[in-house]
């Protein structure tokens, strides 16, 4: 049986689930951008794209060359699509409208052009995360940050491309989660998994335990219980994994279950978390929920958080529902 291409899948989604033509076109545009980023990632040192760019992003983080290149590719590939009114990115200080030479469309896109930058030079998994929102009032030439400040429940699509041993594109259009694998021989993404589900129970967790001394008490208690294994209060043994890229952690959960945690800690008390709400936590939370998982900030469903700024940070607990509900309960009882 022949595999279904991304284009064929989107035709089916338009016919069976009423996916708008412009949204399907935007997904194809994002996929094309991810193909180009994959090419740069694959070339690596041969193309001189590794190492530092010598600049910082809006969060004060040092940018890698591939961060900057990937951001340029995402903007350049999606701007001409006619589906967008504006962009927001981890690598851009302010939101950006579509240039006057291109038509505008009814959507806004937010993205982390290359998640897991610390993994670039060691050839570990990295990827591109994207979130699509409706543009308030429809297509328009001028957008402001306020247009983007919508809770995650408003997303009409979200997903990621992961560049690793395989390049995979995983996304939702609000009707479940599907995964596509890139065939470099023909330059196509093919549907390889759909109706992805996350098991409610798991024995695997991902967190950076080197920060344990900085965590708040509910997180310390939770991880200690997991580490106690079958003789502890949870009554079973757990394995820990840590790839240092949210995209890889989420992909593992969508593949075999688990929980990913990046909590608030006490090093910067005023900061609610490390990860960005709008172009990291929101799209991944939508994927998790569409697959039957959960995602909270320890107290609240992430998708219901009203953002106050595009680069807002948030604590993240996402994955198998039993574990997310349990650790969220620990936070709520303390609160």
Domains for the chain: give ranges and CATH numbers. 6-193 (3.30.540.10), 204-334 (3.40.190.80)
Integer Cα distance of 325 and 310 in angstroms: 27
Helices 321-334, 217-227: crossing angle, 10 deg rounding: 140
Residue 54 has pLDDT above 80, yes or no: no
Residue 197 has pLDDT above 80, yes or no: yes
Q: Is 90 annotated as a binding residue?
A: yes
Q: Is 255 annotated as a binding residue?
A: no
pLDDT value of position 119: 86
Residue pLDDT, tens place only, 90-126 = 999 999 999 999 999 999 999 999 998 888 788 889 9
Residue 62 pLDDT grade (very low, low, confident, very high; cuts 50, 70, 90): low
Q: Is 117 annotated as a binding residue?
A: yes
Percent share of the chain, pLDDT over 70: 94
**Mean pLDDT of all residues in 131-143:** 97
Report the predicted TM-score, pTM, of the whole model to 2 decimal places.
0.95
pLDDT value of position 118: 80
Are the C-beta atoms of 254 and 287 separated by less than 8 Å? yes
**Mean pLDDT of all residues in 75-81:** 95
Q: Is 265 annotated as a binding residue?
A: no
Integer Cα distance of 306 and 310 in angstroms: 11
Residue 150 pLDDT grade (very low, low, confident, very high; cuts 50, 70, 90): very high
Q: Is 18 annotated as a binding residue?
A: no
Among candidates 104, 120, 70, 108, which has minimal Cα distance to 90? 70
Q: Is 118 annotated as a binding residue?
A: yes
Q: What angle do CA 258, 304, 334 make, to 5 degrees?
A: 65
Q: Is 330 annotated as a binding residue?
A: no
Integer Cα distance of 132 and 108 in angstroms: 6
pLDDT value of position 123: 85
Mean of per-residue pLDDT scores for the chain = 94
Residue pLDDT, tens place only, 284-310 = 999 999 999 999 999 999 999 999 999
Helices 65-78, 21-43: crossing angle, 10 deg rounding: 150
């Amino acid at each position: 049986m022949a595999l279904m291409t991304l284009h064929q899948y989107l035709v089916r989604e338009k016919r069976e689930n009423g996916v708008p033509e412009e949204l399907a076109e935007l997904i194809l545009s994002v996929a094309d951008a991810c193909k180009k980023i994959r090419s740069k990632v694959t070339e690596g040192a041969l193309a001189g794209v590794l190492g530092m760019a010598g600049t910082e992003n809006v969060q004060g983080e040092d940018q890698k060359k591939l961060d900057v290149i990937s951001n340029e590719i995402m903007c350049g590939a999606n701007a001409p699509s006619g589906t967008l009114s504006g962009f927001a990115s981890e690598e851009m200080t302010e939101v950006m409208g579509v240039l006057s030479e291109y038509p505008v469309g009814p959507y806004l896109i937010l993205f982390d052009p290359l998640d897991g930058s610390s993994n670039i030079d060691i050839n570990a998994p990295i990827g591109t995360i994207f979130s699509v929102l409706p543009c308030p009032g429809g297509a328009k030439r001028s957008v402001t940050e306020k247009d983007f400040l919508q809770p995650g429940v408003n997303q009409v699509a979200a997903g990621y491309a992961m560049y690793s041993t395989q390049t995979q594109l995983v996304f939702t259009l609000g009707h479940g989660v599907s995964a596509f694998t890139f065939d470099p021989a023909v330059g196509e993404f093919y549907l390889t998994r759909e109706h992805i589900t996350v098991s409610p129970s798991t024995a695997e967790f991902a967190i950076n335990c080197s920060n344990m001394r900085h965590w708040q008490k509910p997180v310390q208690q939770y991880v200690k219980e997991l580490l106690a294994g079958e003789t502890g209060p949870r009554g079973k043994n757990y394995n820990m994994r840590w790839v240092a890229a949210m995209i890889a952690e989420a992909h593992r959960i969508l593949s075999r279950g688990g929980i990913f945690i990046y909590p608030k800690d006490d090093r910067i008390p005023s900061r609610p978390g490390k990860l960005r709400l709008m172009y990291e936590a929101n799209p991944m939370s939508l994927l998790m929920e569409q697959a039957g998982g959960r995602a909270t900030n320890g107290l609240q469903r992430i998708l219901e958080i009203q953002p106050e700024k595009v680069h807002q940070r948030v604590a993240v607990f996402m994955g198998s529902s039993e574990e997310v509900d349990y650790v969220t309960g620990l936070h709520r009882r303390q609160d």
